[in-house]
Amino acid sequence: MEIFTIPDLLVGENKGPVNILFYQRENGPDQIKLKLHYAQNMLCFMLKGVKELIDETTRYSMNNEQIGLVSSGNMLMNERVTLREEFESLLLFFSNEFLANFLKKYNIVIQDDPEEHPPVIVFPKDDYLQNFQQSMTLLRNDFNRETFRVAKMEEILLYLYEKYPSQIRGFIAKSIAKTENRPLVQVVQNHMFDNLNAQELAFLCNMSISTFKRKFTEVYDTSPGKYFVTQRMKHAVLMLRNRRRPSDIYLELGYENLSSFSREFKKFYGVPPKSYAVQN
């Protein structure tokens, strides 16, 4: 099952510290299951249908009488439509950088909290949240303005903080802690195709090899070896579909020679890259 990165898939190059959109699915199967990597935190207002999120320990569910606050990371998601085959939600995505600025702007102090907090918190829709949802429906044409998105995200987060202080503090503390892995992510993304091994990447991250592998698994939910092979193979397919020859691309993908690239490609896709290029 393919992993989809959200909100990147939905907003593309327009991704900012806060991203707001309505998501609607009017046809298709009654239920779909997806592997999602949430690159930002999310506040979800369910409008129609039921959303289920599954992490390593728990299944969380929310319907149109609830909202869900979701921490960034990897989760399985189920979407279940209503009897009229409708699924719709209002999604507000926000980065950890936004959270850090939010704390500073409103002088909110988050203490070290030894208690473990869940990555998903579900709240009932009270009158204020219903009105907020309605106002966002009326103002949906303003979502393209970053100042508007930031102001509305601050508004809803301040309300939730005042009403559910301990839960929101715990959520923010958990999210901010994840920024500790930012150097690792930057190193991995910058050297995706540079043919560096795990020890060399760990050195660039100023980590021991054991710490690097542990943190890598926390971020990407797989081992470094499997992750790099998968990313290189996906990139190889795109290049081959653009009529580039295997002999011209193996160095760009981080392979020392054409034969090692061809072996790995065949092991991954079942056919050599040359045959794949002819078939596609």
Q: How confident is the model at residue 30 (pLDDT cuts 50, 70, 90)?
A: low
User: C-alpha 174: how far from its chain's center?
Assistant: 16
Q: How confident is the model at residue 134 (pLDDT cuts 50, 70, 90)?
A: very high
Dist. CA 187–CA 207, nearest whole Å: 12
In the chain, the domains with their CATH numbers are 3-179 (2.60.120.280), 191-279 (1.10.10.60)
Least confident of 30-34, 162-166, 214-218: 30-34
Dist. CA 17–CA 94, nearest whole Å: 6
Dist. CA 74–CA 5, nearest whole Å: 9
Q: Tell me the per-residue pLDDT of 175-216, one tens digit each, with 9 for 90 and over.
A: 877 666 667 877 887 888 888 889 889 888 878 899 999 888
Dist. CA 151–CA 261, nearest whole Å: 49
26/165: higher pLDDT: 165
Is 28's pLDDT higher than 70? no
Burial classification of residue 180, based on how many CB atoms lie within 10 Å of its CB (0-12 exposed, 13-18 middle, 19 or more buried): exposed
pTM: 0.65
The dihedral of CA 207, 41, 57, 109: what is its sign? positive
Residue 32: helix, strand or coil by DSSP? strand
pLDDT at 29: 61
CA angle centred on 20, ends 15 and 26, rounded to 5°: 110
pLDDT at 242: 86
pLDDT at 102: 92
Q: How confident is the model at residue 96 (pLDDT cuts 50, 70, 90)?
A: confident
Dist. CA 170–CA 117, nearest whole Å: 6
pLDDT at 89: 94
